[in-house]
Amino acid sequence: MPTLFISDLQLDDQRPQATLWLLDFLEREARHADALYILGDLFEYWLGDDAPTRTGRQVADALQRLHVTGVPAFFMHGNRDFLLGSDYARSASMQILPEEVVVDLYGVPTLLMHGDSLCTDDLAYQKFRAMVRDPAWQRAFLAKSPEERMAFAGQARAESDEHKQGVSMDIMDVNPTSVTRAFKRAGVEHMIHGHTHRPAIHEHPLGASTGQRVVLGDWYEQGSVLRVSADGFDLQTL
Domain-embedded: residue 7: yes
> Considering the entire predicted model, what is its pTM?
0.95
User: Which helix (H) or strand (E) is 129 found in, with range?
Assistant: helix 123-132
pLDDT by 10-residue block (mean), the chain, 238 residues: 97 95 97 98 95 95 98 97 96 98 97 97 94 96 94 86 73 92 97 96 94 97 95 93
- CA separation for the pair 118, 196 (Å, rounded): 10
Domain-embedded: residue 229: yes
Host domain of residue 44: 3-114+177-237
pLDDT of residue 166: 65
pLDDT of residue 203: 96
Domain-embedded: residue 209: yes
Domain-embedded: residue 121: no
Which residues make Cβ contacts (< 8 Å) with residue 148, sequence separation at least 6? none
pLDDT of residue 159: 82
Q: CA torsion 174→9→54→14, rounded to 10°?
A: 90
Domain-embedded: residue 123: no
Grouping H, G, I as helix, E, B as strand and the rest as coil, residue 116 is helix
CATH of the domain at 205: 3.60.21.10
- CA separation for the pair 109, 26 (Å, rounded): 26
Domain-embedded: residue 132: no
* Domain count across the chain: 1
Residues 230 and 214 sit within 8 Å (Cβ to Cβ):
no
